[in-house]
C-alpha cells in the first residue's frame, strides 16, 4: 500500500462502514450539558442515573449497590474495549494493523506491570485482572515462568508484537540492570517512532492527521520526562536517550532539553516553539492555575477533535480511543469528588465537546 493521491476515491471500499460507525460512537461522547448534570450529583447512584440517559445506557445495571468508583472505572473501560474489539473484528488491512498499533501502548503498560509484579513475587492470577484488556496478548499467562527479565525476553516476549522494540534498544544485560521505568520509556519511544513511520508510509490524509498527533505526543513525553527527572539519579545522557525523535522538538529542542537543569530552562526551550510556549505560559502551581499536565491534555483533546474534521482517513479511530480515554478519566474524577464529598476541584475535568 503506497501513498494514493486521492484517498476519497478508495478509502470507502474497505473502511467506509467502520468510519461511519466510529463517527456514530464519537457522537455519543458526553457533552458539556451532560458534565454539568454530573457535577451536581450528590452520590454515586445519582451519577449512575444521569449516565443512563446518555450513550452509556444501563451499563451499571447489574452491579450490586453500594457502587464504588473502581467498579465504575472498570465498567467504563469495558465499554470502550467492547466497542474497540467490534471495530477490530470487522476491519481489513491496513486498518487492522493501524488498530493493532493503538493497542501496543496498552501492551507496553501491561508488560511492565507483569514484570514488576513478577519481580515482587506476586501470583500471576492477581496481576492478570489488573492488566488493561485492550493490551492483552497470548503470552500473558506465561510471564511468571521466567525468573529474570532477560529470560523473560528470550522465552516469552520475543513472540509478542513488541519484540522489535526490545531488539533495537535493549540488550540482554541491560534488561537485568535497568530500572523498570527506563525500560518502559525506552519501549514507548521505539513504539512511537515505529507508529510514526507506519503512518507516514500510509500517506495521504491519514499521515497528515496522525503525524501531527504523534509529534505532539512525542514532544509531550520529552517535556514530562525532563521535568520528572529533576531530583532523581537519572543522568542527562540516559535521559536524552529516552526522548522520542518524531516530534517538532527534534533535533535542536531535544539537545537543549537534554542539557536542562531546572524548570525555567525547560520553559526557555518551550518558548522557542509557538504552540508549546502558550501551553507553558498559562500553567503554574498557584491555586487557580491549570497544571502543565492539564494544559497538555487540553491540547491533546483539541488535536483529536480536529481530526474528525477530515473524512476518509484512519486518524478518526485513534482520536476516538483517546477522547474516550479522556472521558473515562473525567467521569472517574467527578465520581471520586462526589464519593469523597470534596467538591472543591470537581470542575477541573477536561471538557471535550
Partner 1 sequence: MADVDYQPSKPSSKLSGVSLYPVYAVVYVLALSAILVIAFYYMLTGKGARFDFGWFLESTSPFMWASIGIGLSISLSVVGAAWGIFTTGVSILGGGVKAPRIKTKNLISIIFCEAVAIYGIIMAIVIANQLGTYDPLTASETVIRDSHYAGFQMFAAGLTVGLSNIACGISVGIVGSGAALADAQNASLFVKLLIIEIFATAIGLFGIIVAILQITGVKMGTD
The residues of the shown chain that bind partner 1, judged by CB under 8 A, are 1-2, 8-9, 12-13, 16-25, 27-28, 93-94, 97, 100-101, 161, 164-165, 193-198, 200-202, 207-208, 211-212, 214-215, 245-248, 250-251, 311
Handedness of CA 327, 329, 332, 337 (dihedral sign): negative
A 10 A CB-CB count for 336 gives 16
Q: Which is nearer to partner 1, 165 or 349 (CB)?
A: 165
Q: In angstroms, what CA-CA distances link 276 with 18, 269, 271, 298, 312? A: 34, 9, 7, 12, 29
The smaller minimum CB distance to partner 1, of residues 116 and 160, is found at 160
The rounded distance, in Å, linking the Cα atoms of 135 and 106 is 4
Residue (191 or 280) nearer to partner 1, CB: 191
Nearer to partner 1, 53 or 228 (CB): 53
Asked if residues 347 and 338 have their Cβ atoms less than 8 Å apart, the reply is no
The residue among 87 and 260 lying less far from partner 1, judged by its C-beta, is: 87
| Radius of gyration of the chain measured on its C-alpha atoms | 21
Compute the least distance from the CB of residue 85 to partner 1, in Å. 16
Looking at the DSSP bridge assignments, the partners of residue 283 are: 290
Helix or strand or coil: residue 309? coil
Nearer to partner 1, 80 or 246 (CB): 246
Give Cα separations from 273 to 21, 31, 66, 94, 211 (angstroms): 37, 32, 49, 34, 17
Amino acid at each position: 500500500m503506497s501513498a494514493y493521491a486521492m484517498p476519497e476515491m478508495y478509502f470507502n471500499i474497505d473502511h467506509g462502514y467502520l468510519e461511519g460507525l466510529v463517527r456514530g460512537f464519537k457522537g455519543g461522547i458526553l457533552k458539556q450539558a451532560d458534565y454539568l448534570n454530573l457535577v451536581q450529583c450528590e452520590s454515586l447512584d445519582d451519577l449512575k442515573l444521569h449516565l443512563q440517559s446518555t450513550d452509556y445506557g444501563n451499563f451499571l445495571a447489574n452491579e450490586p449497590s453500594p457502587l464504588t468508583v473502581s467498579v465504575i472505572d472498570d465498567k467504563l473501560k469495558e465499554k470502550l474495549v467492547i466497542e474497540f474489539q467490534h471495530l477490530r473484528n470487522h476491519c481489513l488491512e491496513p486498518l487492522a494493523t493501524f488498530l493493532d498499533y493503538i493497542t501496543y501502548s496498552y501492551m507496553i503498560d501491561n508488560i511492565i506491570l507483569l514484570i514488576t509484579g513478577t519481580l515482587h513475587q506476586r501470583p500471576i492470577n492477581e496481576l492478570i485482572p489488573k492488566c488493561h484488556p485492550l493490551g492483552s496478548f497470548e503470552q500473558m499467562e506465561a510471564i511468571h515462568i521466567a525468573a529474570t527479565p532477560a529470560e523473560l525476553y528470550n522465552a516469552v516476549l520475543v513472540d509478542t508484537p513488541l519484540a522489535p522494540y526490545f531488539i533495537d534498544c535493549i540488550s540482554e544485560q541491560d534488561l537485568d540492570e535497568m530500572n523498570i521505568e527506563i525500560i518502559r520509556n525506552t519501549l514507548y519511544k521505539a513504539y512511537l517512532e515505529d507508529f510514526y513511520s507506519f503512518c507516514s508510509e500510509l500517506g495521504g490524509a491519514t499521515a497528515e492527521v496522525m503525524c501531527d498527533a504523534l509529534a505532539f505526543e512525542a514532544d509531550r513525553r520529552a517535556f514530562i520526562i525532563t521535568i520528572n527527572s529533576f531530583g532523581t539519579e537519572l543522568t542527562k545522557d540516559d535521559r536524552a536517550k529516552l526522548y522520542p525523535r518524531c516530534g517538532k522538538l527534534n533535533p535542536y529542542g531535544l539537545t537543549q532539553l537534554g542539557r536542562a537543569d531546572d524548570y525555567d530552562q525547560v520553559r526557555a526551550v518551550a518558548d522557542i516553539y509557538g504552540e508549546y510556549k502558550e501551553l507553558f505560559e498559562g500553567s503554574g502551581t498557584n491555586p487557580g492555575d491549570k497544571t502543565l499536565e492539564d494544559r497538555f491534555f487540553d491540547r491533546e483533546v483539541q488535536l483529536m477533535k480536529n481530526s474528525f474534521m477530515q473524512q476518509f482517513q484512519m486518524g478518526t479511530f485513534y482520536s476516538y480511543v483517546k477522547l474516550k480515554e479522556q472521558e473515562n478519566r473525567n467521569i472517574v474524577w467527578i465520581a471520586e469528588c462526589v464519593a469523597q464529598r470534596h467538591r472543591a476541584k470537581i470542575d477541573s475535568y477536561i471538557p471535550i465537546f
